Amino acid sequence: MRMRHPFILLATMTLSVQAGAAVLTEQDFFGELPVVLSASRLSQPLAQAPAAVTVIDQEMIRASGFRDIPDLFRLVPGFNVAYTRDNTWGVGYHGLADAFSRRMQVLIDGRSVYTPGFGEVPWASLPLSIEDIERIEVVRGPNAATYGANAFFGVINIITKDPLEVQGARASLQAGEQGMRGALFRFGGGNDKDFRYRLSLSDQRRDRFDTQAEKTTTRHLDFRGDYRISNSDELTVNFALSRGDWRQGRDREDDPVRSVDTGSEHFQARFRRVIDPATEWSLQFYHLRLQKDDDFVFDETSIPLGLISADLGYTQWRKDIEFQMITSPARQLRLVWGAEARWEGAESKGYFYQLDDRTGAMYRLFGNLEWLLSEQLAINAGIMAEHHYYTGLDFSPRLAINYMISNDHALRASISQGYRSPTFFEVEGDARMVSPTGFDWGQIFAPAGNLQPEKILSRELGYVGHLRPLHLRIDARLFNDRVRSLIGGDDSLGPTMFANMHTADIQGADIQAKWQPDPRFDLTLSYASVDIDSNNRDIALSAPSNNLSVLASLRLPNGWEASTALYRVSEMKWLDDGDDVLAFTRVDARLARHWNWQGHRVELAMVGQNLGGDRYAEFRESLTGSNKNLFDTRAYISLGLDW
């Protein structure tokens, strides 16, 4: 892709909005633009944030008709989403998309959920109901200065509902094609003054494709309690767990269809003290543990007496403690700084042959400064110093300058550097073919030894604007990311070993626009154009050159709601065990009505997905003629009751 067209587009938008800008008060400006928390850990309007942020709110979640959290990121510019297999999802942004989502930091109420052993995000076993999400803030671009390693291409910050918002009981049921079943019960209680809580219980069942290997059942429990100790002090506690009974496998000798038990446990406690309106500090501790039991025996015909005992199970854990301080050293300055210590580990007989638990400790110091030089100019500067158990000390700085053209329009220029640290498996993974009697037939993966962190240098120009006469909001960015020391698998010498062997130069543009000509109608458009230059063919194709989503919703009289969405993705290559997939267009629709019945709120909804479209492959087997793993037309109904 040539860069001249996006630059011309941005310049044209800038000139046009300068010519038609209305004179408004500062309160009008700040009161109407969304306020975000995830770009710098400071509460900021989008016009002053150091990065582009997409907010997925409750209305968008409901209008989309999605029931699985990863699906929601189809609404974000430049994001690619695919169900892979074995109840796992691939979520990628601007390239290097694979089945692990290992180059994004994903947070739930401030706790990181990616796994230390493999760096993946276990989307299907997150102990969180989509109905308990208040909103999701997606930082589009590297944000290592704020959240450290793994905030490599972006940050997904899932913010759950305050118990005060969900007082009383709620029950909901879903049923549809492809074995789709779901049930949720939630109760919120306590009192407004001192203590409030919510408790959610969920049972979700899926059968993604026309195969017995994809039937899954996942149950979770999620408890959150907020206790106001005094007018300035508050304690929040969260406990959540999930258990899954999944069927997986590809019905092959080396990957038979089998039952797999999974589980995750999360505990989080956060104390917050507000000293004055500009000063507060918090102390947070969280613990997570993920477990998977998956052992079986298969017949490998390439070796004598070829019975192989496979154990693909694991246990992974993390403990983390973080202190954060927000203060205002001067009238035009705001500062957030803090420190974090993390201990994590992984254990697996199949992936770390004859090794004990792999463990490590990581330490961080971070700071972000917002300096309002004038009503038109703001500077955001941040840095993360991180000492990782494999790669030592790294610094991730960022500098952003925001220029407010008027109360409704702002430009942003930023430059940042970030890292992704290698995982336990990438450095010390040792997978072998072993007979049931313990005989070693040879390595599949061998330890890599020393690996350098992956490194990204990102440059960005952004625009945030509100074209009031058109009732249109726009958030656009041009980006150029220089990625070096990418880790890939090298099997030229026998067993696969990871090495820093790839480079990528990623450039393009993305834009999100929201049009609301009437309070009853919303239209959200997201578009991204990406071009990758790499020394590896698969990486160069790992993002679609064009990616479009459009979500329109209409609120009608008598409690009726209607929405429709279009998703258009050009051809791309999913990395690792993914395939080259063809371009596809998908149309979804939702029709719902809510009403009061004997003092209770009832909602009935019908959702159709891929309506009138051809079956398509999102992740694999699109070019092989196979009919497996194809997404076809499907529908479900949902019934909810609040009392």
* Sequential DSSP letters for 558-605: GGEEEEEEEEEE--EE-STT--EE--EEEEEEEEEEEEEETTEEEEEE
Residue 594 vs residues 209, 558, 608, 642: alpha-carbon distances, Å = 31, 8, 18, 11
pLDDT value, residue 578: 85
| 477 half-sphere exposure, CB direction, 13 A CA radius | 29
pLDDT-above-90 percentage for the chain? 76
**Spatial distance between the Cα atoms of 508 and 487, rounded to a whole number of angstroms:** 23
Nearest CA-CA partner of 462 in 399, 511, 506: 511
**Spatial distance between the Cα atoms of 625 and 122, rounded to a whole number of angstroms:** 30
Q: What is the pLDDT of residues 516-549, one digit of tens each?
A: 999 999 999 999 999 999 999 999 999 999 999 9
pLDDT value, residue 621: 65
Report the relative pairing of strands 168-176 and 580-581 from DSSP bridges: unpaired
Nearest CA-CA partner of 620 in 631, 632, 607, 629: 629
**Spatial distance between the Cα atoms of 63 and 170, rounded to a whole number of angstroms:** 19
Nearest CA-CA partner of 513 in 482, 564, 479, 551: 551
**Spatial distance between the Cα atoms of 106 and 92, rounded to a whole number of angstroms:** 12
* Contact present, 20 and 467 (Cβ < 8 Å): yes
| HEC string for 157-205 | EEEECCHHHHCEEEEEEEEECCCCEEEEEEEEEECCCCEEEEEEEEEEE
- Give backbone dihedrals phi and psi of 247, rounded to 5 degrees, phi first: -105, 130
* Contact present, 37 and 513 (Cβ < 8 Å): no
Q: Sorting pLDDT into bands at 50, 70 and 90, what band is 243?
A: very high
* Contact present, 591 and 562 (Cβ < 8 Å): yes
* Contact present, 158 and 133 (Cβ < 8 Å): yes
**Spatial distance between the Cα atoms of 387 and 329, rounded to a whole number of angstroms:** 28
CATH superfamily of 4-642: TonB-dependent receptor, beta-barrel domain (2.40.170.20)
Number of continuous H segments (helices) and E segments (strands) in the chain: 6, 37
Residue 8 vs residues 4, 11, 14, 294, 592: alpha-carbon distances, Å = 6, 5, 10, 54, 42
**Sign of the alpha-carbon dihedral angle for 209, 213, 215, 216:** negative
* Contact present, 464 and 47 (Cβ < 8 Å): yes
Q: What is the pLDDT of residues 174-183, one digit of tens each?
A: 999 888 999 9
Strand partners, 292: 262, 314
Is the pLDDT at 11 greater than 70, yes or no? no
How many other C-beta atoms lie within 10 A of the C-beta of residue 493?
Answer: 8
Residue 546 vs residues 1, 77, 153, 295: alpha-carbon distances, Å = 10, 10, 18, 41
Nearest CA-CA partner of 351 in 376, 314, 377, 378: 314
Tell me the Cα Rg of the chain.
Answer: 24
pLDDT value, residue 420: 96
Q: What is the pLDDT of residues 63-112, one digit of tens each?
A: 999 999 999 999 999 999 999 877 889 999 998 988 888 899 999 999 99
Q: What is the pLDDT of residues 452-501, one digit of tens each?
A: 999 999 999 999 999 999 999 999 999 999 999 999 998 888 899 999 99
* Contact present, 78 and 140 (Cβ < 8 Å): yes
Tokens read off for 106: 């994903």
* Contact present, 588 and 607 (Cβ < 8 Å): yes
| 550 half-sphere exposure, CB direction, 13 A CA radius | 9
Nearest CA-CA partner of 221 in 189, 196, 187, 246: 187
Residue ranges covered by each domain of the chain: 4-642
* Highest mean pLDDT (candidates 11-25, 208-222, 514-528, 610-624): 514-528
Q: What is the pLDDT of residues 353-375, one digit of tens each?
A: 988 899 999 999 999 999 999 99
The SS3 of residue 75 is: helix
- CB within 8 A of 166, min separation 6: which ones? 132, 186, 188, 198
Q: What is the pLDDT of residues 311-357, one digit of tens each?
A: 999 999 999 999 999 999 999 999 999 999 999 999 999 999 988 89
* Sequential DSSP letters for 283-341: EEEEEEEEEEE-EEEEE-TTSTT-EEEEE--EEEEEEEEEEEEEE-SSTTEEEEEEEEE
Q: Sorting pLDDT into bands at 50, 70 and 90, what band is 298?
A: confident
Nearest CA-CA partner of 228 in 274, 177, 172, 286: 274
Tokens read off for 139: 């930082």
- Give backbone dihedrals phi and psi of 15, rounded to 5 degrees, phi first: -65, -40
Task: Kindly state the DSSP code that residue 3 receives in the 8-state scheme.
Answer: S
**Spatial distance between the Cα atoms of 292 and 122, rounded to a whole number of angstroms:** 11
Task: Kindly state the DSSP code that residue 123 receives in the 8-state scheme.
Answer: G
> Stretch 229-251: mean pLDDT, rounded?
91
